[in-house]
Amino acid sequence: MDQTHRGKIVMIDDDPELLNTAKRLLEGGGFEVDTYDRAFNASNFVARARPDLVLMDVNMPFLSGDQLADIFARDAELDHVPIVFFSSNDEHSLRNLVRERKAAGYIQKSDLLYDFVGKVSRFVNKSRMGLAPQG
């Protein structure tokens, strides 16, 4: 691992353009990034990838991000992986979702061009230091 590697991120979102943009930003910030464009079978993808953090959309077809977070919480391979919801939902609903699902936090999609890499970095650093999720 080279010295610029800051951690491994898995992004789950049904918007391929957003995935590509976010991936480029995060890779430019020194992260290794794997993307997955649907919630279906995402738990197997994440288990194989073994990320430091999962950035997960909330509003996806067939299986929402909060439902997927519940699946992760019941899976011994995934229950320790920090989840950050990445959504266009309003802050109030995201705060409630973080609290209900014991997620590490949230980032609004509107923040993609404003300190996105810095926000992801802070979540990765908190998870590596073993700090409790914040909601």
- pTM of the prediction? 0.89
Burial class (CB in 10 A: 0-12, 13-18, 19+), 4: exposed
Domains of the chain in start order, with CATH, are 8-128 (3.40.50.2300)
Helices 65-73, 91-101: inter-axial angle, 10-degree rounding: 20
pLDDT digits (tens, 9 = 90+) for 25-84: 999 999 999 999 999 999 999 999 999 999 999 999 999 999 999 999 999 999 999 999
Q: Which amino acid is at 28?
A: G
For the chain, give the percent of residues with pLDDT over 70: 93
